[in-house]
Structure 1
Amino acid sequence: MPRIPTMNDVAREARVSLKTVSRHVNGATNIDPELAARISAAIVKLGYRRNLSAASIRPGRTSRTIGLVISDLANPYYSTLAGAVESVADAAGYLVTIASSNEEGPRHDRLVDRLMEQRVDGLIVVPPQHPARDWSEVASPIPPLVFLDRPTPYEGADTVLADNGGGAREATSALCRAGARRIAYVGDSPGIHTMRERHAGYAAALAAAGIRVAESLVITTAHTREQARRAVGALLRDGSADAVFAANNRATIGALLAFRQAGRRLPLIGFDDFETALLGSPPVSVVSQDIELMGRTAAELMIARLNGDGSEFVTRVFPTRLVLRGSEKPDPEEGR
């Protein structure tokens, strides 16, 4: 493997001092033009690249990098969040390093430690389902920190959330108004904050309608769309449910796959909009949260902290919006 050229190599090639090369690569403009031209030519000839990781260790220097730890980049929800964070960070001159915890606490902790070792200027984090340690146990200094999508008990950070409980309550109430009484809840583990909040909203809407929650209709093991498909398929076969509230986009897609396989559908509302929701017949009704706004807000809070904002930490909770497109209603063909 060829040796990576260093600043010393550039200095020798350009026949200038190491200090002059250092000043040039760090943006100094008061260098003799002839020396600057020789240094630039040497950099091109040798293929030298500045070592930002090393530079960030020096007093007063930063890496101009923000670490973003999410749950699963393959999930469109998190890829949208990441894209929104990147757009704000890029405009402010920061690079975003993205990593996925896959909901694993130990992996999440390793990623956080690795990013801190690489001297990121700040961290935006989606806390994992099962944290392996408390943030109070993380060795200082902890860079500016923003929690996104889920809160934690740690008080030294800003937090950006959606109103998960309110959105689920509104969706379940809409299914009740459409005539459903045996509404299934299909979602991921209640160990995830958003799932707990959405289940609580679901239960609150049923209570307000005078309907008892049937535990046989509460499915909290649908981590993938395939698991959701199997769960909803079983509900269709035994006839125990007359509607479905899908607590995330993968559960919604799983439900749609089950409907297609069975050749019939149940009234359905899903949490989180998705690109193909409009392609169904009828289109899928959803609880829509402004994912891009959440990502942008998290990044804006981070940039403000990096620019010296020392105000009290805040928690921003954004409202959701119920978008009814027809799938919340019974199939007019059913029962004919």
Structure 2
Amino acid sequence: MTVLPRPAARARPTMNDVAREADVALKTVSRYVNGEQNINAAMAERIADAIARLGYRRNLSAASLRPGRSSRTVGLVISDLANPHWAALARGAERAATDRGYLLVTGSSEEDGARHDALVDRMLDQRLDGLVVVPPREPGRPWSALVPPVPPVVFVDRPLDTPGAHAILADDRDGARAAVASLVRAGARRVALVGDSWLIPAMAARREGYRDALADAGLPDDPALQHDGAHSLTQAQELVAGLLGTPAGGAPPVDAVFAANNRASLGALHAFRDAGRRLPLVGFDDFEAATLLDPPVSVVAQDVGGMGAAAVHLLLDLLGGTADVPSRVVVPTTLHLRGSERP
């Protein structure tokens, strides 16, 4: 068998190559690729032609190492890209970054503190200009432990208990309060709360809203009805399936469900299907199939994509030194009652 020699790797063209091809000074090429406008039109045209012929690309990574220079790249660390909630947030963030001439690099922490820390370190090693971060359920090291310099950081969807930290947050507590109040108005007296870990600040806030609504209605705050083990759809399905049975000890059955995230809503719907009956339901976070069901699922909606976009705009305003940048922005939620809140 004849083995053909591997072609030699082609060296990447440099600014020196462009300068020789265009017959201009290296400094003129440098000014051109850095966007300076006061360059002779004929020279600029020769440089552009040389760049096209040679296939020259600016090395942004090298440029970002120089003091005062930008990579025009920002990082986004989210929880789980497979979850439509986080995918929508990432999409909004990416559009905002693109609109302002930046590249967005995204990674998923999978709610693991060590993985989150490794992603942040990798992004900092790449000299990204700034970070948008969803803090993980399992906390990693404190942000104060990072060795300066640390670029600007904006937290999104989940607050961080750090003085002066910039954050874009939904009004989780008020949204949950409105959701549970709608179930109570429809006649529910024993409303189950099904959600993820209370260690997640947004989930803890939704639990407080749930309790607020019960207090407003003069109903007892029963810890036995509050379940925080629904991180996945399957876990939520199993929890709600258990709620549909007859509780031990002859206690009154659950008569409604507040699903505190989209996975909990979907898990509840699977449990209802398997049991052949349903309970009144309101979920937190809208999802695509919600209006296709019978009855359509009532939800507390938050503009997740808008929050991702707002976080990027806030980050880039910080980078640009814009005055009076708010440290915390709370985005209101909207309750959409579609019928599933009623028996």
TM-score, shorter chain, exceeding 0.5: yes
In the aligned structure 2, how far is the partner of 1:221 from the partner of 1:7?
57
**Residue matched to 2:224:** 216
Which among 267, 270, 273 is matched to residue 254 of structure 1?
267
Q: Deviation of residue 38 (structure 1)? A: 4.9
Gaps of 5+ in 1: 331-336
CA shift in 2, pair 1:198/1:14, >3 Å: same
Contact 1:147 1:157 in 2 (8 A): yes
**Residue matched to 1:307:** 320
Give a deviation string over 1:109-167, Cα, whole Å, max 9, x none. Answer: 12112212222222111111122111111111121221111111222432111111111
Contact 1:88 1:296 in 2 (8 A): yes
Contact 1:71 1:78 in 2 (8 A): yes
**196-205 or 263-272, larger mean C-alpha shift:** 196-205
In the aligned structure 1, how far is the partner of 2:87 from the partner of 2:207?
24
Q: Deviation of residue 7 (structure 1)? A: 3.0
**Residue matched to 1:334:** none
In the aligned structure 2, how far is the partner of 1:108 from the partner of 1:75?
17
Give a deviation string over 1:23-59, Cα, whole Å, max 9, x none. Answer: 3322345556665555444433432211111111223
Contact 2:32 2:44 in 1 (8 A): yes
Which residue type is aligned with residue 155 of structure 1? P
**15-24 or 137-146, larger mean C-alpha shift:** 15-24
Contact 2:159 2:202 in 1 (8 A): no
**Residue matched to 1:48:** 56
Alignment of 1:188-199 (within 5 A): 188-199=196-207
Q: Deviation of residue 102 (structure 1)? A: 1.1
RMSD of Structure 2 on Structure 1 (CA)? 2.2
**277-286 or 208-217, larger mean C-alpha shift:** 208-217
Gaps of 5+ in 2: 1-8, 248-252
Matched, 1:203 2:216: no
Which among 290, 293, 296 is matched to residue 280 of structure 1?
293
Which residue type is aligned with residue 195 of structure 1? M
In the aligned structure 2, how far is the partner of 1:194 from the partner of 1:29?
48
Q: Deviation of residue 218 (structure 1)? A: 1.9
Output the TM-score relative to the length of structure 2: 0.88
In the aligned structure 1, how far is the partner of 2:46 from the partner of 2:336?
62
In the aligned structure 2, how far is the partner of 1:294 from the partner of 1:26?
32
Which among 165, 170, 175 is matched to residue 162 of structure 1?
170
Q: Deviation of residue 12 (structure 1)? A: 4.9
In the aligned structure 2, how far is the partner of 1:323 from the partner of 1:313?
29
Contact 1:145 1:156 in 2 (8 A): no
- Paired residues in the alignment total 330
Aligned-partner SS, 2:245: helix
Q: Percent identity?
A: 57
Contact 2:314 2:325 in 1 (8 A): no
**Residue matched to 1:328:** 341
Give a deviation string over 1:58-97, Cα, whole Å, max 9, x none. Answer: 2332111221111112211122222222222222222211
Matched, 1:90 2:98: yes
